[in-house]
Structure 1
């Protein structure tokens, strides 16, 4: 069987987080518990936001990201031991939000084990409400994704 390389499976994702699957990630059925995939997505999302320097923006302005929605499609069960690669990318930019996609790739399985997505809203933590996506963040996303700043959902 010809197994695609990790680089090929994650070529469309500008940020990739490598995560060691822990024994404690598994449940009584002997595979990684479904809730853990959302932690894996979170790790990739935070790595992506760090690449954008979004947390510095939060510190300077009080405006930053907040998770509005997330989902996962399970393709193959992960097990211990494994070191997975989780890709993150932005597929849509709106007035006050970005839409993200994730892919979880297992070198042990040689395939995508899960795919997911999220809506991340720009939030004013001082005013406790949504805020417009800052132009600086919009430009950083476009640069990271290799797309025009007007990338739309």
Structure 2
């Protein structure tokens, strides 16, 4: 069981007038990390992706310290905090070796876009989630 880590590059345009990364960008960084993490389990074909999609139903971010624009990427750690029959919660830390900038969670729903309704997680999806499950750490 392990976290997925995405070294997220910061862009000059991500910073606000104070040189801090804008709070809305944290959601984008989390999206990039989870999308890359889930490449392994997503179907390769468009029809399969539509019928076996995931949608975000809730996001919560606790900002711990200002993240200033810089050339070095920031690490976005993501892991599964808990899962059920059709939903799961991902936990995140946006940090570098010395500083925690944010902790967050997203609730994800397994969803069939063609039927426009939630669906049950498949056995391969549950196995994938189990491999990435760990209790949320507190820093």
Q: TM-score, normalised by structure 1?
A: 0.78
Counterpart for residue 91 of structure 1 = 81
The equivalent residue for 2:127 is: 139
2:104 is equivalent to residue 113 of structure 1: no
Structure 1 consecutive aligned stretches of length 4 or more whose deviation exceeds 3 Å:
55-59, 144-147
Give 5+ residue unaligned stretches, structure 1: 1-11, 148-153
1:137 counterpart SS class: helix
Greater relative CO (CA pairs within 8 A, separation 6+)? 2
Q: Which residue of 1 aligns with 2:33?
A: 44
Residue 66 (str. 1) matches residue 55 (str. 2): yes
Do the aligned partners of 2:80 and 2:134 also contact (CA within 8 Å) in 1? no
- What is the number of residues matched between the two proteins? 133
1:79 maps to 2:101: no
Q: CA RMSD in A?
A: 2.2
- Aligned 8 A contact 1:48 1:89 in 2: no
Shift of residue 126, structure 1, vs aligned partner = 1.1
- Give 3-state SS (helix, strand or coil) of 1:54's partner: coil
| 3-state SS in 2 of match to 1:80 | coil
CA shift at 1:13, angstroms?
4.9
Distance 1:15 1:70, change over 3 A: same
User: Which whole-Å deviations, capped at 9, do the CAs of 1:27-82 have from their partners, x for residues lacking one?
Assistant: 1122110001111111111122113x224387437121111111111111111213
